[in-house]
Structure 1
């Protein structure tokens, strides 16, 4: 019997081998790839091990090891989103690794090849506020130090903090002595990246910016002379400013300074004169060669040698290529991968990155620049379920208000035995950020729904990255307007095409996506229900006046909504907490109790406003979870609760899923 001969069960009840545990077990991606000697290292998620990030080592023979067992968790909390949390070098003939441990944020050093080698602390625990944190690390063997960004709390408030390039001795002398930590430069700016030392050791560059700017709004490329004592002199700005975002800067082996800046409207790679600041675009294209700096140490390009630079570039999805800095030509790496993460490493003519595709999970991939060939060298994709149950994603462009383009990824329902005839249920997925983007890669959480007959559409609404500065700037002072309109445009477009049932539309998102979902549910009649995950619900509380978020984003709303001192009414009018009386459909609210970015107090106030209004809803809060769920049991609970919500609203009963109890 063929699929066409069968009578399909109700959409949402198609039998699927992708249960919530399978989907959650494969959540997350490798990050922060690096080379130590002849070995490739990276961090990887471990949902079943309390959600920790493990450090993975690929030996020259191709085998993979995890030299740091649980509970070691290699993850930085600098600016809460973190950054490169480890660095490695070969010293005295053996590997030395320095890493930040998530639990106490101390730096530790260990020698994985030494017998009974236990990590030993390099930095102290501060008794003040949230302590000392480290990211964007580089080992400087010639000085016996590890360099990076020091984030130091000076009080108990989320904005009682300073950041500065700093050096930590490798001998452990700073393990109990804050005074042994050497600050490399003056703390002249609120935010900085780790210093990049020139090949001759005479100068260093780093990025800096201040409130209310975010790094995709405006940054400065700073440079200073390095003294014989290892201290940087007075710094000066080479390029950048309030309307120019410099996302990355690196020295080439011959001492040329390169930087990715969006001064043309797109993040292009420029050669920058370290004396005059004159910048020359090496490949002028309406493409992005960088992205939004959410994690310190992200890399979109990497100098390889004379005249060659490994680059991640494209419109929307980035792909790996090699840029000839003389001709401006880019030769792309072959292979099936359609998305590359902002992390690159190189050794001996080989470029290593992390890539995925619409039907493959994230893999560690190597490009041999001599032969032009690529191969998977780590975290290889293996089909955990029959690929016939996976969706075939499609990139689409819809038309929004005023004729503007709205980019989206569609994941139609797919099942080997059933065909999605006629309009059916669709869920609009809204990415976080909001200055970020959804990547079109294999996601078993999406397949959890599509294999059961529920379509998914990820919307890269105005404000998303990958489409130039003008597209990002659409969201300036329009957050809660443009994002909501663009999501509705995609939903309505699917209805008009006959793919989606207008009575069976849902919206879901986390963080900034949770904001958009809640804003849509309290301002439009487009959706029959929604799932709101660790959201922002009260703009005034989340603003610099309210102080309910962390320092990095504490003034983000100044550009997304407007200066709070000038337009406080706009903050009140757009906030879902002040429009709770307008919500008329069921919703599910999910929150981590340890979240300092979007704290649970906002959910609690919103629920108080909704109470007694007769709107069916459920609230699930998880101890030990922060911003972005990482634990297997949490993610399983959330997926099953979400599917149960859709079943109750869309009129189907999913098999084997606990019924989500809705209250009014």
Structure 2
């Protein structure tokens, strides 16, 4: 029997512990000799990342297969076919060094040996985007070197690390930021992608190629390179070799499409489509396409698996049960392997046989209590109209088979703001969202102007307009839901982390749409994110130049849009969440914001979590954060959620 009860008071089997258990997820999927490998986050093990082959853990705790290059990390492992058999090189979070081990060692306790040197300072050398060098005798990768005390004191190079203990040699130092390298099949050349401040990798990058030097020794200058594609307003995001040609995802026409580029720099778009086949290089090592053979390539078309046919110049979607795939494609004998998810299915490692259409799930996705599907929301994809144009969004209505709200009640709604801001929301199972919707609280996730997946023109709506377009678009969606009667206009909230935390805080201090908001590991003072501000890491230290304007010429704009300077304009209560080891958005700004709130009379809470970086990984943290957020909304919106501790709000 369905019980009638106010929104927010519904009980649900989707508890915070269940959401926390799903918080790790699978990542960095690849193939070796036809077998799938991947990494897997373990919230119950302190958030460590395990390395898995065919469902079998290869490294026990405390090994943590993760790195902090760009602070977001990059591909952390590679299998090398050495003369002595397969060996795995991986980065270990605790010291950031590269280790080597035999995955087929019969001993029950693997004993990885350090391969890279011990740095002079903790985490002073970091590595990512690991790939195999010639003959499996070297690990090629990106190396970050900490050169000083400031967060921006970083130098990067592409380097080769021999397995025999010989010194590391530099392959390239062409740009301040680089990813790759990729060795040609004949072993004569290698390619990589590079870019420099103030551009971000989705603004403009360069595709570089150099000859493999016949005899290089450490200390010699790396070979000279040529630029074959890219530029200030063209962003190459992936490159792979195909014989003597290069297959390149780049966007000279405003959409990431797959191009064939020869060694003279002549480029041909293999199948022109107004769809994004690539994505933003937030992390190093993503693969949005993989070659099948015979002029066919598996690609991700706006997140959907598709096949690109060079002869027909077509991109054809593949009908599969899990519609959303992530940028980790690999192919072997006509079988595509990657990670995929659906509206009611979490991200899983899957393989799809293109000849039969058979989809095999290797892990994750379905590991949840029986009967839970009935409590999961089904997102509705909609397009709203804002002052700057169309605004795509995914609406998650309240849903619980055991409850309904009184007929005269309109549900409260949370506007969920994705991070980046050069990011997007994917309509897949998110138990954090289900935690709220199964209790009678609706959620709408907004792809505001600046989001990826909609072409360069949409992405560049946010150029010098951060804190304006994103705020306007989110408010327009919230108001539209209220105007049509879907949401209660008096119980609208906004929530987000990182750049989403900035938009949440900027919204709460500039528009009167929301009663309250949750702000996690946020940017609050834009001046701190300039190259001079010193309050963020090197990768994003010039990001705001494009998002807000040149510094210091537009300093007034930085002040006006910064929530830190508008505490007196807060529309309502605020919940702040912060990891104390966050190097991307360090606690400094949240500390100052919370201190400024004390004594204002505005209800607020500030929760900090030891051992957490940018985004929460530990089960205990995720549980505490979700339960605090639910209690926070209950106190502001006037309901008592069952079974959660009451959050102490200060004034």
Query: TM-score per shorter chain, which class?
Result: over 0.9
Match of 2:435 in 1: 448
CA distance in 2, matches of 1:144, 1:513: 43
Deviations 1:370-421 (A, max 9, x none): 334332233352343521111011111111015x100111110111122354
Deviations 1:70-121 (A, max 9, x none): 1111111111111100001344574311100011100001112213330110
CA distance in 2, matches of 1:32, 1:462: 29
Worse overlay, 504-513 or 90-99: 90-99
Shift of the alpha carbon at 1:336? 1.6
CA distance in 2, matches of 1:527, 1:470: 29
Alignment pair present for 1:334 and 2:319? yes
CA distance in 1, matches of 2:310, 2:84: 35
| SS of residue in 2 equivalent to 1:194 | strand
How do residues 203-214 of structure 1 correspond to structure 2 at under 5 angstroms? Answer: 203-214=189-200
CA distance in 2, matches of 1:143, 1:492: 58
Superposition misfits of 4+ residues, deviation over 4 angstroms: none
Match of 1:307 in 2: 295
Match of 1:61 in 2: none
Instruction: Note closer, same or farther for the CA distance 1:115–1:383 as it changes in structure 2 (3 Å cut).
Output: closer
Aligned counterpart for 2:260 among listed residues 246, 264, 271: 271
Worse overlay, 141-150 or 477-486: 141-150
| SS of residue in 1 equivalent to 2:233 | coil
How do residues 486-525 of structure 1 correspond to structure 2 at under 5 angstroms? Answer: 486-525=473-512
Contact kept, 8 Å, 2:577 with 2:625, in 1: the verdict is yes
Alignment pair present for 1:248 and 2:244? no
Aligned counterpart for 2:618 among listed residues 631, 640, 656: 631
Alignment pair present for 1:396 and 2:382? yes
Aligned counterpart for 1:24 among listed residues 14, 20, 27: 20
Count of aligned positions = 642
CA distance in 2, matches of 1:224, 1:90: 24
Aligned counterpart for 1:134 among listed residues 127, 135, 139: 127
Worse overlay, 598-607 or 632-641: 598-607
Aligned counterpart for 1:612 among listed residues 574, 577, 599: 599
Contact kept, 8 Å, 1:333 with 1:373, in 2: the verdict is no
Contact kept, 8 Å, 2:337 with 2:350, in 1: the verdict is yes
Deviations 1:569-601 (A, max 9, x none): 100111001000111411110000100110101
Alignment pair present for 1:236 and 2:226? yes
CA distance in 2, matches of 1:434, 1:285: 25
Alignment pair present for 1:103 and 2:90? no
Match of 1:38 in 2: 34
| SS of residue in 2 equivalent to 1:192 | strand
Shift of the alpha carbon at 1:309? 1.2
CA distance in 1, matches of 2:296, 2:21: 39
Worse overlay, 334-343 or 72-81: 334-343
CA distance in 2, matches of 1:510, 1:451: 22
| SS of residue in 2 equivalent to 1:193 | strand
Worse overlay, 115-124 or 610-619: 115-124
Contact kept, 8 Å, 1:91 with 1:141, in 2: the verdict is no
Match of 2:60 in 1: 69
Shift of the alpha carbon at 1:497? 1.3
Match of 2:208 in 1: 222
Instruction: Note closer, same or farther for the CA distance 1:19–1:379 as it changes in structure 2 (3 Å cut).
Output: closer
CA distance in 1, matches of 2:604, 2:534: 28
Aligned counterpart for 1:592 among listed residues 568, 574, 579: 579
Match of 2:402 in 1: 417
Deviations 1:595-646 (A, max 9, x none): 0110101011112222211101000011110101100000100000000000
CA distance in 2, matches of 1:368, 1:91: 29
CA distance in 2, matches of 1:645, 1:378: 35
CA distance in 1, matches of 2:121, 2:95: 13
TM-score using structure 2 length? 0.96
Worse overlay, 254-263 or 408-417: 254-263
Aligned counterpart for 2:160 among listed residues 161, 164, 167: 167
How do residues 117-196 of structure 1 correspond to structure 2 at under 5 angstroms? Answer: 117-128=110-121, 130-140=123-133, 142=135, 144-171=137-164, 173=165, 180-185=167-172, 187-196=173-182
Contact kept, 8 Å, 1:533 with 1:589, in 2: the verdict is yes
Contact kept, 8 Å, 1:32 with 1:42, in 2: the verdict is yes
Aligned counterpart for 1:325 among listed residues 307, 310, 332: 310
Contiguous gaps of at least 5 residues in structure 1? 59-63, 175-179
Contact kept, 8 Å, 1:192 with 1:208, in 2: the verdict is yes
Deviations 1:461-492 (A, max 9, x none): 00000000000000000000000111101100
Contact kept, 8 Å, 1:529 with 1:585, in 2: the verdict is yes
Alignment pair present for 1:602 and 2:593? no
Aligned counterpart for 1:294 among listed residues 272, 282, 289: 282
Shift of the alpha carbon at 1:423? 1.6
How do residues 441-480 of structure 1 correspond to structure 2 at under 5 angstroms? Answer: 441-480=428-467
How do residues 334-413 of structure 1 correspond to structure 2 at under 5 angstroms? Answer: 334-384=319-369, 386-402=372-388, 404-413=389-398
TM-score using structure 1 length? 0.94
Contact kept, 8 Å, 2:511 with 2:571, in 1: the verdict is no
Contiguous gaps of at least 5 residues in structure 2? none
Shift of the alpha carbon at 1:332? 2.8
Shift of the alpha carbon at 1:39? 1.9
Shift of the alpha carbon at 1:229? 2.3
Instruction: Note closer, same or farther for the CA distance 1:93–1:325 as it changes in structure 2 (3 Å cut).
Output: farther
CA distance in 2, matches of 1:271, 1:72: 40
Contact kept, 8 Å, 2:128 with 2:143, in 1: the verdict is yes
